[in-house]
Amino acid sequence: MAVRILKPKPCALCYPLFSKRLPLSTSTTHSVSQPPTSSSSSPMHIDALISIFTKQPFIPDTPELSQIAPSLTSHLVESILNRFHSWKVAHRFFNWTSTQHGYRHTCYTYNAMASILSRSRQILPLKSLLKDIVQSRCSFPPGALGFLLRCLGTAGLVEEANQVFDEMRVKGLCIPNYYCYNCLLEVLSKSGSVDLMEKRLNEMRRFGWEFDKFTLTPVIQAYCNSRRFEEALGVFNTMQEKGWVDERVWTMLALSFSKCGEVDKAFELVERMEEQRMRINEKTFCVLIHGFAKESRIDKALQLFDKMREAGFTPDVSLFDVLIRGLCRNKETDKALSLISDMKELGIVPDVGILTNLLSSLSDKTMIVRILEEIPEEEDDKTVALIYNAVLNSFAGDGLMDEAYQLLQMMIRSKSGTDADINNFIRVKRLVLPNITSFSIVFDGLLKNGQLDLALSLFHDMQQSACKPNISIYNNLINDLCNSNRLEESFELLTEMKESGVEPTHFTYNSIYGCLCKRKDVSGAINMLKEMRACGHEPWIKHSTCIVKELCDHGRAIEACSFLNSMIQEGFLPDIVSYSPAIGGLIKMQEVDKALNLFRGLCSHGHCPDVVAYNIMIRGLCKANRFAEAENLLDDIVLKGLSPSVVTYNLLIDCWCKNGYVDKAIALLSKMSGEGREPNVITYTTLVDGLCREERPDDAILVWNEMERKGCPPNRIAFMALIHGLCKCGRPITALPYLREMEQKEMKADSFIYIALMSAFLSDLNLTSAFEIFKEMVDSESFPEPHDKNYSIAVDAISRFSNDHQTSSGIQVLREEGKIPTHGF
């Protein structure tokens, strides 16, 4: 919304306009409009009431209270409210005065209570107080209403502030003026309620009020909070033209841009402030630097940091921390080290966090030593170990595992005096014993780097130290041993783990179980299942499926089924995913009945076969020419509440087409579309091939056109199926354009396509067209190899072309060029 600065207009309202801002506190307003009474403000009464209401337990009906009650005045009540330290006591006193005969609250007492509740963030009592204010029909001067609105804004009650503003005006309890509107705009700006703010601005326009800096400042804030920065800058420029932009406005806009990630715009505003010779305070510098760093704009954060120091402010350790952390994250270690030097010049000691961040990004040993020398002597061993862990992390992160290993060895031997042989690696004044984190960092790095044997050596060194391996180190070592097929060593480590009192987890057992499954070690896997059952651990599905699949792939499907039964006997119900490869394995062995029995028996084991299992079974039945049973399974899928997949339909369509039931396949296509399953290119290709097999080329072309109409692009296989089918139906002229379309789409046809086209043209005694196709086949280097069944067809064609006067010369040229066989002719 563009803000227009209006010229003063005569006001038609019956109340004066205020050219200056009214007082913001109740005490100031009170002193202007309501002079205090003399007797009611007796210090004796004030002290007595404070004493009575702060005493525990509070007794509401006492003679002393009854004696003081008639002397209550709004000035006295306001004074007492402002002296209570507890909002609960103040609220109790306020409620008590509300019930006293002859006393009524005024806007000042209401505002005093509202201020207390707002500062204490007591939302529900504050909302209740608002209802009392409106129901009491207590009149509020504009200054008092503005103060109330600000209290509500501080508590985040934006809607309530907007509502009470309207209710006061409608009920005649207050005639809002320019100041009231500015206070309301200030409240609305905190929530970014731009629509409400613009509505109130339009109301001010209708009254003919000219906007000033106090009106437009919250407008800028509202636009910024709503991320409408162009409008915010528009208002800002208008204020600047009027000379209303002060440091607060500049700062507010810069902070808003920073908060919303607009770092460049925020920095530009800072530079413009400098040009205007406006001073940024220390808090603003700190907030902006932290904001820039949060957005990973360390470049701008550093520039602002320099400006802060030039302005005479001394940065604290938290600023150095955020900058060094960002520089380390960006691998700008030279700049980070420069900041460390600045800290030393300023007498600021880098804390552990700063040293840790810096060391985590360094890999140069000389630099590391320099930083380690910065460790204060008074730091305890635990803190120093954290710093050394940062160095280990740095080495590990850069893949320098030899360095990490050597440093850890130095730490291990630091108290034994036996580190002379490795002290040349890095020379430091102080070393500490490693902790469990130190070992974990190096173990993880070694294992990721494929240095399993070195990790095992370190494991033995660790056992000799005071630091004992934890569950994570055992698990990672066992897992890597299993992944390396070093099963025997993993079992040894498992035994050692148990003896040391570390309880193996499901990860430990599943690592070993997985290795046994990969080895197809059925008895070993079953024994591990027994141990897992005793410990209350579940085998992972992927491992159980793996052994079943591996067995079936090696023709051991019967053994795979036996393994699944053993799992059930051990109390583990195999997942349906594990059964699917077993069913497929039996079908591969042509044990279709056994596969069907296993499939049917799934329900008795608490499983309902999924669509993948159904598809495997349907494929097996189709291959065994048991079409009716396959079709029954399709109906069974629907009855079980499952949705047949496109693969399911494609299997049956392929089955019908290959066995001469193409009309059933077309009917299934219609059913498929009716159930919301979009046919894919495989579906259409199968039907095209099936129709051509039945010598229905026109229907095949209709299906092809339907495929293209539905936006399913034909692939290379589809083109070749159609071309080959049309040729088999004696329609080479119809097929040829599809070959040309393939070529336009940069799809290369196989040699059998050229052979089919050539043969079809030869059958039509069209030797010229046949020779053209033959020549294309030769030029595209698609001539059949001698072991290809089409080789003899191509050789016979050469003989025919050689004996025909129209093509013989062309064949002779191809022979001379060495592009076709010459022997045998």
Q: Which residue has the tokens 């009854």?
A: 66
Contact between 155 and 192 under an 8 Å Cβ cutoff? The reply is no
Contact between 559 and 551 under an 8 Å Cβ cutoff? The reply is yes
Contact between 291 and 254 under an 8 Å Cβ cutoff? The reply is no
Predicted pLDDT at 164: 93
Predicted pLDDT at 652: 92
Q: Vertex 315, ends 313 and 318: CA angle to 5°? A: 155
pTM above 0.75, yes or no: no
Predicted pLDDT at 16: 29
List all residues 6 or more positions away from 514 whose beta carbon is below 8 Å from its beta carbon: 482, 540, 542, 543, 546
Which one, of 369, 347, 364, lies nearest residue 355 by Cα? 369
Q: Is 357 helix (H, G, I), strand (E, B) or coil?
A: helix
Contact between 151 and 122 under an 8 Å Cβ cutoff? The reply is no
Roughly how many angstroms between the first and final C-alpha of the chain, as a whole number? 90
Contact between 770 and 797 under an 8 Å Cβ cutoff? The reply is yes
Cα gap 384→401, rounded to integer Å:
21
If you ran DSSP here, which 8-state letter would residue 423 be given?
Answer: T
Which one, of 482, 550, 494, 490, lies nearest residue 522 by Cα? 550
**Alpha-carbon distances of 819 from 750, 775, 799, 811, 814, rounded to whole Å:** 17, 10, 15, 10, 5
Predicted pLDDT at 4: 37
Tokens linked to 566: 């053993």
Cα gap 584→592, rounded to integer Å:
9
Cα gap 449→400, rounded to integer Å:
9
Neighbours of 99 (CB within 10 A): 9
Contact between 503 and 471 under an 8 Å Cβ cutoff? The reply is yes
Size (the chain), residues: 825
Predicted pLDDT at 424: 53
Q: What is the CA radius of gyration of the chain?
A: 44
List all residues 6 or more positions away from 600 whose beta carbon is below 8 Å from its beta carbon: none
Say if residue 35 is preceded by a cis peptide, omega within 30 of 0. no
Cα gap 754→794, rounded to integer Å:
10
List all residues 6 or more positions away from 163 whose beta carbon is below 8 Å from its beta carbon: none
Say if residue 57 is preceded by a cis peptide, omega within 30 of 0. yes
How far, in whole angstroms, is CA 332 from its chain's centroid?
Answer: 27
Predicted pLDDT at 10: 30
List all residues 6 or more positions away from 572 whose beta carbon is below 8 Å from its beta carbon: 529, 533, 538, 539, 544
Predicted pLDDT at 359: 78
Cα gap 484→480, rounded to integer Å:
6
Cα gap 73→69, rounded to integer Å:
9
Tens of pLDDT, residue by residue over 436-464, are 999 999 999 999 999 999 999 999 989 88
Which one, of 656, 650, 662, lies nearest residue 627 by Cα? 656
Tens of pLDDT, residue by residue over 645-690, are 999 999 999 999 988 899 999 999 888 888 888 899 999 999 999 9
Cα gap 514→139, rounded to integer Å:
80
Q: Is 334 helix (H, G, I), strand (E, B) or coil?
A: helix
Which one, of 270, 246, 247, 248, lies nearest residue 258 by Cα? 270
Cα gap 491→485, rounded to integer Å:
12
Tokens linked to 592: 């279709």
H/E stretch holding 86 reads none
Cα gap 205→211, rounded to integer Å:
9
Neighbours of 97 (CB within 10 A): 21
Cα gap 181→168, rounded to integer Å:
13
H/E stretch holding 711 reads none
Tokens linked to 83: 């002296």
| Core vs surface per residue 681-714: b (16+ CB within 10 A) or e | ebbbbbbbbbbbbbebbebbbebbeebeeeebeb
Dihedral of CA 560/565/567/573: which sign? positive
Residue ranges in the chain whose pLDDT is less than 50:
1-41, 419-423
Q: Is 754 helix (H, G, I), strand (E, B) or coil?
A: helix
Cα gap 663→390, rounded to integer Å:
73
Contact between 577 and 613 under an 8 Å Cβ cutoff? The reply is no
Which of left, alpha, beta for 137 (phi over 0: left; psi -120 to 50: alpha)? left
Q: Which residue has the tokens 């040349």?
A: 424
How far, in whole angstroms, is CA 764 from its chain's centroid?
Answer: 65
Cα gap 305→291, rounded to integer Å:
12
CA dihedral 664, 669, 675, 680 (to 10 degrees): 150
Q: In the predicted model, what is the mean pLDDT of the chain?
A: 85
Cα gap 653→664, rounded to integer Å:
8
Cα gap 28→525, rounded to integer Å:
85
Own/partner contacts of 428-432, CB < 8 Å, gap of 24 or more, are 428/369, 428/372, 428/373, 429/372, 429/373, 430/372, 430/375, 430/384, 431/388, 432/381, 432/384, 432/385, 432/388
Which one, of 528, 580, 524, lies nearest residue 552 by Cα? 580
Neighbours of 82 (CB within 10 A): 13
